[in-house]
Amino acid sequence: MLSEIKFGRIVVSEASPAVVIAEVACEHQGDLGAAKRLVELAKEAGADIVKFQLHLPDEEMIPESIRFWAGSMDEILARVNLPLEAHQVLFEHSQAVGIQYLCTPFCSKAADMLDELGVEAFKTGSGEMTNIPMLRHIARKGKPMIVSTGMATLQEIEDTVSVLKHEGAQYMLMHCTSAYPPRYDQVNLGVIPRLKEKFGCLVGHSDHTTDIWTVLGAVSLGAKVIEKHFTPDRSLKGPDHHVSLEPREFRIMVEAVRKLEAALGTEKVVWKEEAVVREWAHHSVVSLRDIPQGTLITPEMVGVKRPGSGVPAKFIEEFMGRVAKINIPANSLLRWEDVEKPIR
């Protein structure tokens, strides 16, 4: 199993905290100034990585072949896309701000352009999960790969992983449901440990729900990278605004992830803060009535009550048949030195 992936300032491993990606995508709507501000907002919101997209519509699709209510996909992308020169600015701005830059290419040519830009890793989208020629092309660049698996069967994932292994790629998989948003019964977080077990690699979760709850479930199930769409303001109606978190919500998500990670320990111990409660909340063996010196102790004479500072309740049977060495008042914590075994 590949136990660690490093790129830039990022370390992804089973032992490290989950890495959080703010997926800006094209929420900047083609405005470089807005994109730079999103870099800053992502850093302030606690993201480890800010991620963009680089589209080359002529390379990605047949012109006018994919149409939505707002127009053809290539026309939409032309309106919100940023050229490579802008990504150079964002790459440098991210370094200055102190957050890792990442960008998804949607064709081999875009991957080449990002490689020349100096990116330190590649994140591929679910639409490219079965694009074996492109994934092989990226793998041969020798940089870490984060590969999303939405819209794919286990067999298709296996086919892709086989290629990545053959090329000696450093890769991890991202569990994903490519609905915007998915229903909760479509998220299937239990796939995360299945992917980890089947493919022996690090696994993350790319989340398209409208809130943070499935992200927390993913982390609890072992996701080591979390990707969540990010927008400055949903009212701006960016391309992915309906599944994006605003900065305050994103910050809450990151804080929740960090608190959850702190709570995921497996050691069962009595903490010092518990010991204070334990002393009064546990139960001890006590006398239920006055027990005169020399009396043979019988079940109706003793019971268990709080506090827990005496002989633990589990030892009550050990007092049966013993003799009181002293006068024991009712409601006293019994002590071993107060009793003795009778002389036969």
Task: Clarify whether residues 196 and 320 are in a common domain.
Answer: no
List C-alpha distances in Å: 121 to 44, 170, 205, 238. 23, 10, 17, 26
Task: Clarify whether residues 227 and 280 are in a common domain.
Answer: no
> Residues 91-103: what's their mean pLDDT?
98
Please determine, for residue 3, whether its predicted confidence score (pLDDT) is greater than 90: no
Task: Clarify whether residues 282 and 241 are in a common domain.
Answer: no
Task: Clarify whether residues 79 and 142 are in a common domain.
Answer: yes
Q: Which two tokens stand for residue 44?
A: 């302030």
- The answer to whether 234 and 246 have CB atoms below 8 angstroms apart is yes
| pTM for this predicted structure | 0.91
List C-alpha distances in Å: 310 to 29, 275, 298, 313, 343. 70, 14, 19, 9, 26
Q: How far apart are CA 31 and CA 15, in angstroms?
A: 38
> Residues 252-273: what's their mean pLDDT?
97
Strands 49-54 and 19-25: parallel
Mean pLDDT of the chain: 95
Q: Does residue 50 lie in a domain region?
A: yes
Task: Clarify whether residues 286 and 243 are in a common domain.
Answer: no
Q: Which of 112, 136, 100 is closest to 59 using CA atoms? A: 112
Tens-digit pLDDT profile for residues 205-239: 999 999 999 999 999 999 999 999 999 999 998 88
Q: Please report the pLDDT score of residue 70 as a whole number.
A: 55
Task: Clarify whether residues 252 and 281 are in a common domain.
Answer: no
Please determine, for residue 62, whether its predicted confidence score (pLDDT) is greater than 90: no
Task: Clarify whether residues 146 and 255 are in a common domain.
Answer: yes
Q: Does residue 75 lie in a domain region?
A: yes
Please determine, for residue 71, whether its predicted confidence score (pLDDT) is greater than 70: no
Query: How sure is the predictor about 61, in pLDDT bands with cuts at 50, 70 and 90?
Result: confident
Query: How sure is the predictor about 284, in pLDDT bands with cuts at 50, 70 and 90?
Result: very high
H or E segment and range at residue 276: helix 272-281
Q: To the nearest whole percent, how much of the chain has pLDDT over 70?
A: 98
Q: How far apart are CA 240 and CA 245, in angstroms?
A: 10
> Residues 294-304: what's their mean pLDDT?
97
Task: Clarify whether residues 224 and 328 are in a common domain.
Answer: no
Q: Does residue 79 lie in a domain region?
A: yes
Residue 4: strand, helix, or coil: strand
Tell me which of 243, 262, 281 is where a domain ends. 262
Q: How far apart are CA 304 and CA 130, in angstroms?
A: 66
Q: Does residue 221 lie in a domain region?
A: yes
Q: Does residue 99 lie in a domain region?
A: yes
Q: Please report the pLDDT score of residue 1 as a whole number.
A: 55
Cis status, amide bond into 329, omega within 30 of 0? no
Task: Clarify whether residues 45 and 183 are in a common domain.
Answer: yes
CATH number at residue 311: 3.90.1210.10
Q: How far apart are CA 255 and CA 246, in angstroms?
A: 14
Q: Which two tokens stand for residue 334?
A: 């019994």
Q: How many domains are contained in the chain?
A: 2
Task: Clarify whether residues 302 and 334 are in a common domain.
Answer: yes
Q: How far apart are CA 92 and CA 98, in angstroms?
A: 10
Q: Does residue 4 lie in a domain region?
A: no
Please determine, for residue 341, whether its predicted confidence score (pLDDT) is greater than 70: yes
> Residues 45-51: what's their mean pLDDT?
98
State the sign of the Cα–Cα–Cα–Cα dihedral 4, 142, 113, 59: negative
CATH number at residue 152: 3.20.20.70
Q: Does residue 100 lie in a domain region?
A: yes
Containing domain of residue 318, as a range? 272-340
Tell me which of 262, 281, 310 is where a domain ends. 262
Task: Clarify whether residues 26 and 172 are in a common domain.
Answer: yes
Task: Clarify whether residues 39 and 135 are in a common domain.
Answer: yes
